[in-house]
Amino acid sequence: MNSGDSPQLAPISSHAAPDIGPGRTSLFEFDLASLTAEIEAMGLPRRTAPQLLKWIYEKGVTDFDRMSDLSKDARAQVAARFSTLQGTVIRHQVATDDTQKLLIEWAAADEIPPETALRLAGTATERQTETVLIPTEDRRTACVSSQIGCPVGCKFCASGLGGLDGNLTAGRIVEQIWRLGRLPGVGRVSNVVFMGMGEPLANFNNVTQAIRTLNAEWGLGIGARKITVSTVGLPPAIRKLCTFDIPVTLALSLHAPFDELRRQIIPWAEYSTIHELLDACQEWFVKTGREITLEYILLGGVNDRREHAEELARLARTMRANVNLIRYNEVAGVPYARPKHDDVHHFQEVLRAKHVNVHIRASRGRDIAAACGQLRHESRPAT
């Protein structure tokens, strides 16, 4: 397929329709302990809770009438108290490299119980997120969103063009991975990266609750080290994550080795210096024993020169870190250019010469705007 051809539009699975209603809470919002407490309060057998979770996460069933090991009366009570899917897939695209992207519209605040409501303005374009499935020969990686929009406002990223419209609940984060795993031919999601829309550590409680479900045996059973949380840099939140009992991987979106340049392309860089960020990351290594991944988007003619590479190498060598180089992916209306091929490889060579473990990350899904930095409210016009 030529780059100018339209990407394939895949059909939307009919079994994954939304299930919302007043007074009901999605089962995706519960862990085993909290669901068991709810079930017992309803007067149902304790075993009902793990049965429900097995139907959803192991068997992929969200229709209560199909949960055959529950009595007819139990199914009726459960259906009256709980819901399942909260979103509607309004677009499903498949790229030429088999990357898949879903645009999901979430239920409005007045359509769900208050305890799981989002702080939304209520219009359709303000309750949409995108999530991406990146397949390779040996893994299926879900790139998941944690917020609707993004508060950080990186100048090169589409996700923050419209600002922040709200946090996603834990259940809505989990539902994204659940839906990706049920796309035709995908099978089990093996890896999750919190690199979609939003700043994960600005939605700390919901993100960590979602991680528990992703990792749990009763949930999606994804290994802790196969879950990556990427942050633009919130030192107090990084230090808080140091105490999180599930050993996830941490990635820092650095994108510039000098504070002045970083503030020009990342507005939130006003609130913490590179030194403060790396100090928090060093604490992460000391407390967890796990190295940091430094993410670095190369913007043509902006942060891809030799002096940038040399300083990035110096910073990386102050701690246990590896570096991922990411070519800028084009965003309509954003005045940056994709770096030249030779410039990218020269940048990598400078880091390698200084003994930094560095890789160039492939851009996946560019023809459907699913690559790093391209996720956005699709129905919003570019600004």
Give the residue numbers annotated as catalytic, written as ranges. 130, 372
223 near 177, Cβ under 8 Å? no
Amino acid at 121: A
Place of tokens 């695209």: 93
Q: What is the DSSP string of 170-197?
A: HHHHHHHHHHHHTSTTT----EEEE-SS
Question: How would you label 233-257 residue by residue, b for 16+ Cβ within 10 Å and e otherwise?
Answer: bbbebbeebbebeeebbbbbbbbbb
Reference 102, options 175, 204, 26, 198; nearest CA is: 175
C-alpha distances (whole Å) from 46 to each of 16, 32, 49, 55, 179 are 27, 11, 6, 15, 28
Other CB atoms within a 10 A radius of the CB of residue 210 amount to: 30
- Does the CA dihedral 86-170-11-6 come out positive or negative? positive
